[in-house]
Amino acid sequence: MKIDVRQVHHPEAVRAFDTEALRRNFLVEDLFEEARIRLTYSHVERFIIGGAVPLMAPLALGSDKATIGSPHFLDRRELGVFNIGGPGAVTADGATFPLGHRDAAYVAMGTTEVVFSSDDPANPARFYLLSTPAHARYETKVVKVADAKQMPLGDQATANKRTIFQMIHPDVVKSCQLVMGMTQLAEGNIWNTMPCHVHDRRSEVYLYFDLADDARVIHLMGQPDETRHIVVADGQAVISPPWSIHSGCGTRAYTFIWGMGGDNIDYTDMDMVPMAELR
């Protein structure tokens, strides 16, 4: 198994990046390939960002000497799994956890075998994976989208009416540093996370999905006074370093999975950026 590696950058260096360099360093494309697990290792927060699309044969999550360096993927890590495809299951050390469309699972540190499967290869599961280093073993648990902590946000007038589903969150499941959930925009709404924020003590990854083939999200990144954009298609993820805003405007409504790691697990700990400071 080969893992694509992404380095970290000083924000002053990123100011000089052209479109191609921004995409090569911060956008994760081709996450979901049939019958494969694809992984990207980012030195930002040591996130591992992945996709698994099992067909007939289940797919086992292996480790990698060059990046992880432990015999098993989760020896010193925890894992969030979100199913954005058809019904499937994640099996952790022999215990099978069924995951329907948009359900999630938290997989505990110390799990030696993690296997992904689809119920029907004609309508395969699409598992989005986000992993961070961990220091303690908590409980592997399914979080059904119906059991998420829901938070309505935004307004139709500002085209940002949306629902936040907090799923891997201290109020729902215990984790070391991983905090994850999903944000669904209401029909006719296009903006996420605007007004925007930063949180220097935490990094974040956004995985955009539920976009038509010809729909795009114009994702905004960069320091608040040095913003850049990345044009994102369905099933692609953007890495947001601690110094970067993370916000987006779609050509129509979409859904995204956000995941954070870092110095605290307080979802509300954000430094709001005043509109007048954006450049």
Ligand X SMILES: O=C[C@H](O)[C@@H](O)CC(=O)C(=O)O
Known binding-site residues equal 197, 199, 204, 246
d(C-alpha 163, C-alpha 187), whole Å: 11
H or E segment to which residue 11 belongs = helix 11-14
Should residue 258 be labelled a site residue for ligand X when binding is judged by CB under 6 A? yes
3-state SS, one letter per residue, for 100-137: CCCCEEEECCCCCCEEEEECCCCCCCCEEEEEEECCCC
How much is the CA Rg of the chain, to the nearest whole Å? 18
Should residue 131 be labelled a site residue for ligand X when binding is judged by CB under 6 A? no
Nearer Cβ to Zn ion (194/211): 194
Interface pattern 77-96 for ligand X (x via CB under 6 A): --------------------
Binding-site partner at residue 219 among ligand X, Zn ion, none, CB < 5 to 8 Å by type: none
Whether the Cβ atoms of residue 41 and residue 76 lie closer than 8 Å to each other: no
Nearer Cβ to ligand X (116/267): 267
The tokens describing 40, both together, are: 């990207």
Binding-site partner at residue 126 among ligand X, Zn ion, none, CB < 5 to 8 Å by type: none
Binding-site partner at residue 257 among Zn ion, ligand X, none, CB < 5 to 8 Å by type: none
Task: For the beta carbon of residue 3, count every other beta carbon within 10 angstroms.
Answer: 18
Q: Binding residue for ligand X (CB under 6 A) from 79, 81, 134, 164?
A: 164
d(C-alpha 95, C-alpha 113), whole Å: 10
Nearest 5°: the CA angle 47, 250, 179 is 30
Q: Binding residue for ligand X (CB under 6 A) from 14, 111, 204, 262?
A: 204
Rule CB under 5 A: which of 196-215 touch Zn ion?
A: 204
H or E segment to which residue 21 belongs = helix 19-26
Q: Binding residue for ligand X (CB under 6 A) from 83, 117, 192, 255?
A: 192
Q: Which residues are documented as binding site for Zn(2+)?
A: 197, 199, 204, 246
The tokens describing 264, both together, are: 């605290």
H or E segment to which residue 88 belongs = strand 88-92
Nearer Cβ to ligand X (70/264): 264
Binding-site partner at residue 164 among ligand X, Zn ion, none, CB < 5 to 8 Å by type: ligand X
Binding-site partner at residue 116 among ligand X, Zn ion, none, CB < 5 to 8 Å by type: none
Q: Binding residue for ligand X (CB under 6 A) from 38, 102, 162, 169?
A: 162
Rule CB under 6 A: which of 30-49 touch ligand X?
A: none
Binding-site partner at residue 183 among ligand X, Zn ion, none, CB < 5 to 8 Å by type: ligand X
Number of residues that bind Zn ion (CB under 5 A): 1
Nearer Cβ to ligand X (140/244): 244
Q: Which residue type does 4 have?
A: D
* Residue the block writes with tokens 């432990």: 70
Q: Judging by beta carbons within 10 Å of its beta carbon (0-12, 13-18, 19+), is residue 33 exposed, middle or buried?
A: exposed
Residues near ligand X (CB under 6 A): 162, 164, 183, 192-193, 204, 246, 258, 270
Q: Which residues would be at the binding site for Zn ion (CB under 5 A)?
A: 204
